């Protein structure tokens, strides 16, 4: 029995180590290939670099890997709106509650209307802003808030530059 135990413990340890090694190889089958620094001048030129980057991006687009993030620092978008002017009029409702009760009442009324709103800290006071294209809905909200003696200012939205 001692002889079997003498050989059984190292055999189990070897099998566990082999299992761990095979498991690590299985979960990461495509390890990156290391290139030597003694490559041709074509790969170090800008044309060769553009080709390799294009191959790299197309490789990831073909395999559809979900968890890969492309290294992007800045994104700029150019929108061509054409000659059409924007016919959509936006309106802004600004509410400055005086205390926490008025703030809770404003939040409750805004949740009932399903309008998106932003709460900003203005020193000790809070400032609620609501932007919407529906003028009637904002007007009805102003009248509801006036019934609670909460002042709200309603004006056309102008983009700040």
Which CATH number do you get for residue 124? Answer: 3.30.70.600
Asked whether residue 102 is domain-assigned, the answer is yes
**Side-chain-facing half-sphere of 140: CA atoms under 13 Å:** 10
Quick one: pLDDT at residue 15? 95
Quick one: pLDDT at residue 61? 67
Extract the tokens encoding 149.
Answer: 């003696």
Averaged over 66-80, what is the pLDDT? 72
Alpha-carbon gap, residue 76 to 55, rounded angstroms: 23
Q: Point out the least confidently predicted range of 1-5, 15-19, 41-45, 137-141.
A: 41-45
Query: How many H helices and E strands in the chain?
Result: 5, 4
Alpha-carbon gap, residue 85 to 133, rounded angstroms: 16
Asked whether residue 133 is domain-assigned, the answer is yes
Asked whether residue 121 is domain-assigned, the answer is yes
Asked whether residue 123 is domain-assigned, the answer is yes
Q: Give 41's pLDDT tier (boundaries 50, 70, 90).
A: very low
**Residues of the chain with pLDDT > 70: what percent?**
67
Which residue range(s) make up the domain with 105? 91-156
Asked whether residue 108 is domain-assigned, the answer is yes
Radius of gyration of the chain (CA): 32
pLDDT in tens, 94-144: 998 888 898 899 999 899 888 888 888 877 788 889 888 888 899 999 999
C-alpha distances in angstroms, 110 versus 127, 128, 144, 147, 148? 14, 10, 11, 15, 14
- In this predicted model, which residue has the larger pLDDT, 82 or 127? 127
Alpha-carbon gap, residue 52 to 31, rounded angstroms: 18
Quick one: pLDDT at residue 154? 84
User: Does position 20 have pLDDT exceeding 90, yes or no?
Assistant: yes
Asked whether residue 23 is domain-assigned, the answer is no
Angle at the Cα of 155 from the Cα atoms of 152 and 161, rounded to 5 degrees: 120
Q: How many domains does the chain have?
A: 1
Asked whether residue 114 is domain-assigned, the answer is yes
Averaged over 61-88, what is the pLDDT? 68
User: Does position 43 have pLDDT exceeding 50, yes or no?
Assistant: no
């Amino acid at each position: 029995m001692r002889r079997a135990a003498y050989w059984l413990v190292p055999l189990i340890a070897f099998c566990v180590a082999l299992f761990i090694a095979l498991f690590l190889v299985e979960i990461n089958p495509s390890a990156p290939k290391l290139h030597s620094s003694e490559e041709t001048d074509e790969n170090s030129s800008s044309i060769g670099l553009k080709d390799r980057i294009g191959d790299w991006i197309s490789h990831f687009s073909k395999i559809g890997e979900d968890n890969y993030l492309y290294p992007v620092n800045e994104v700029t978008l150019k929108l061509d709106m054409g000659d059409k002017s924007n016919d959509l009029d936006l309106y802004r409702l600004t509410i400055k509650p005086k205390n926490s009760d008025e703030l809770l009442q404003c939040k409750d009324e805004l949740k009932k209307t399903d309008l998106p709103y932003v709460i900003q800290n203005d020193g000790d006071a809070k400032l609620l802003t609501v932007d919407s294209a529906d003028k009637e809905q904002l007007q009805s909200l102003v009248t509801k808030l006036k019934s609670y003696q909460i002042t709200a200012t309603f004006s056309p939205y102008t983009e700040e530059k």
